[in-house]
Amino acid sequence: MRNKPARKLRELLRLPPGERVDLSRYDARATPGAPDGRRAAEAEADRMGTQLARLQERLWAAATAGDHRRVLLVLQGMDTSGKGGTVKHVIGQLNPSGCRITAFKAPSEEERGHDFLWRVRRALPEPGEIGIFDRSHYEDVLIARVRHLARPAEIGSRYGLINDFERSLAEDGVTLVKCFLHLSYDEQRRRLLRRLDRPDKRWKFTPGDIDERALWPDYQKAYELALERCAAPYAPWYLVPADRKWYRNWAISRLLLERLRELDPRYPEADFDVADCRERLLKET
Amino acid sequence: MRNKPARKLRELLRLPPGERVDLSRYDARATPGAPDGRRAAEAEADRMGTQLARLQERLWAAATAGDHRRVLLVLQGMDTSGKGGTVKHVIGQLNPSGCRITAFKAPSEEERGHDFLWRVRRALPEPGEIGIFDRSHYEDVLIARVRHLARPAEIGSRYGLINDFERSLAEDGVTLVKCFLHLSYDEQRRRLLRRLDRPDKRWKFTPGDIDERALWPDYQKAYELALERCAAPYAPWYLVPADRKWYRNWAISRLLLERLRELDPRYPEADFDVADCRERLLKET
């Protein structure tokens, strides 16, 4: 039964707002809600790609007639957890015109001169678009906390600021899909070793990745706090087990599909006289 | 023989710099250099998609090690000529993370407060990226000319400014691939009628499209001038017959592939001690 999605996937993966999060209780190799086996999941993810692209076109079309709704996929997770892979494989199935993708790096000098949400506001999707954040404003309560990049009181205040910000987005027509890609410590080692061993993967590696990895428990703790404090009904967190790439792709496709189906965007009606336009075109010589 | 690409496609489609352009001499239904028939071209375009994605990853990887090169695809053409379709079908095969797509609309008030290249500079690809312009700075010598949106002397000065700008881009490592999607007047009518007849296409239509169409000869003339005056060895124009969508997709994939192969981007060598990093990872418990 467990492998039949009787319930919506997002009910299975959503972290309940207001509850403590203990990441050690979640199996990163789990495949909740997935079809039986990798092959079936990959085939289903392909089919969902087509459905996602169709709904994306409708969302875009609706925006041309004044519909303000848009979607924002937030991807967070440890190094190698598959944020980039999700963009490549899941978002890669959509029409790139309608996607606004931002990979947030360490803030530039200009960005550091503003409040931490400044650069995020500038990267938001426009009506009809699907925004994708590869890392996000959450870095300001994750690496910032672990690496002491700001005073504790300041970091403490950011959770509330994030909640206010996300509420304002939701009220402005943004459907937030926040995914934490839950990777195990062992799987990260395997992936880092693979990056070292393959000359075509080595460019993704820096020795700093090993230093970050040494802070694994601190990062897990920082994630637990962020997932606890910034989960709201209008902006839930989904915990996506990410040790299996095929599951991660399937699950994120599914989460997006569920949300887009609920939005149910429609092609707009013509606000002009179709018959008249037809006639004008046909009357030409 | 004509259907075997003995020569590079870009030699077949390039408009010779310095020569007069008479668009009426080019058949918009032609398929220069294409494999035999639609099905073969579509299959080849699929295969090229995979090759393009591989080269794109190398371009991106090389940039992480300081390679400044990037590609800029400029798409121009009359309404319905397939600029959006090219993004969807050709660019849709790439990794969206590495693509920077900009659709230029009528300039905003802020944009009108700057020189006409201002908004274009802000949309340029970063090193390692493939930039895509759906319309571009050429609108400022196309619709601007046809609709008298600036004084004639000002428009006249823009060709030189565009050439200077594009030369500076080329010198800065930008490979320019400028494609004029050459559509016939009749095919545009068919496509506009299809947009009117299909409820899921109607949102792409506005009655203003018919008004623009009435200016067809003026637009063709404005294109001829732009193609003549702004074709340079470092920034050639390719005339892509666009009445057949499958040919358009095949040809633009091919042009991109030829240029990327020439760039021959390479995965960078590691600038750190791989063996040492391996050991550090394996030593962990």
CATH number at residue B224: 3.40.50.300
For residue A21, give the nearest of A239, A196, A258, A261 by alpha carbon. Answer: A239
Instruction: Return the pLDDT at A1.
Output: 43
Q: Which residue of A has its CA nearest to B189?
A: A281
Instruction: Return the pLDDT at A54.
Output: 98
Tell me if B70 sits within 8 A of B174, measured CB to CB: yes
Instruction: Return the pLDDT at B1.
Output: 43
Which ranges of chain B have pLDDT less than 50?
1-2, 5
Q: Half-sphere exposure of B183 toward its Cβ, with a 13 Å CA cutoff?
A: 22
The DSSP letter of residue B242 is -
The DSSP letter of residue B268 is P
Closest chain B C-alpha to A272 CA, distance in angstroms? 7
Instruction: Return the pLDDT at B2.
Output: 47
Instruction: Return the pLDDT at A84.
Output: 98
Tell me if B127 sits within 8 A of B67, measured CB to CB: yes
Q: For chain A, what is the domain count?
A: 1
Residue A4 resides in a domain: no
- Tens digits of per-residue pLDDT, A50-80? 999 999 999 999 999 999 999 999 999 999 9
Residue A2 resides in a domain: no
- Tens digits of per-residue pLDDT, A231-250? 999 999 999 999 999 999 99
Residue B3 resides in a domain: no
Residue A264 resides in a domain: yes
A vs B: CB pairs below 8 A: 104
Taking the C-alpha atoms of B272, B275, B277 and B282 in order, what is their torsion angle to the nearest 10 degrees?
A: 170
Q: Half-sphere exposure of B145 toward its Cβ, with a 13 Å CA cutoff?
A: 23
Give the helix/strand (H/E) hosting A101.
strand A99-103
Tell me if B73 sits within 8 A of B181, measured CB to CB: no
- Tens digits of per-residue pLDDT, A106-139? 999 999 999 999 999 999 999 999 999 999 999 9
**Is the Cβ pair B203, A282 closer than 8 Å?**
no
Residue A3 resides in a domain: no
Instruction: Return the pLDDT at B6.
Output: 57
| C-alpha distance across the termini of chain B, in Å | 65
Closest chain B C-alpha to A153 CA, distance in angstroms? 34
Residue A138 resides in a domain: yes
* A99-103/A130-134 β-pairing: parallel
Residue A1 resides in a domain: no
Domain that holds residue B184: 9-283
Residue A160 resides in a domain: yes
CA distance B46 to B250: 9
Which ranges of chain A have pLDDT less than 70?
1-6, 285
Instruction: Return the pLDDT at A4.
Output: 54
Interface pTM (ipTM) of the complex? 0.94
**Is the Cβ pair B270, A94 closer than 8 Å?**
no
Residue A165: which region, alpha, beta or left (left: phi > 0; alpha: psi -120 to 50)? alpha
Q: How many CB atoms lie within 10 A of CB B184?
A: 18
Per CB-CB distance under 8 Å, the chain A contacts of B210 are 277, 280-281
Instruction: Return the pLDDT at B134.
Output: 98
CA distance A170 to A235: 8
CA distance A122 to B162: 28
Tell me if B85 sits within 8 A of B248, measured CB to CB: yes
Q: Which residue of A has its CA nearest to B278?
A: A193
Q: Give Cα A274 to chain centroid, integer Å.
A: 40
Instruction: Return the pLDDT at A284.
Output: 84
CA distance A125 to B158: 33
Q: Specify the long-range contacts of residues B16-19, CB closer than 8 Å, at least 24 apart.
A: B16/B231, B17/B231, B17/B232, B17/B233, B17/B236, B18/B231, B19/B228
CA distance B24 to B22: 5
Q: Please report the residues numbered 182 through 221 in chain B whose beta carbons come closer than 8 angstroms to any beta carbon of chain A.
A: 189, 192-193, 196-197, 199-200, 202-207, 210
Instruction: Return the pLDDT at A138.
Output: 98
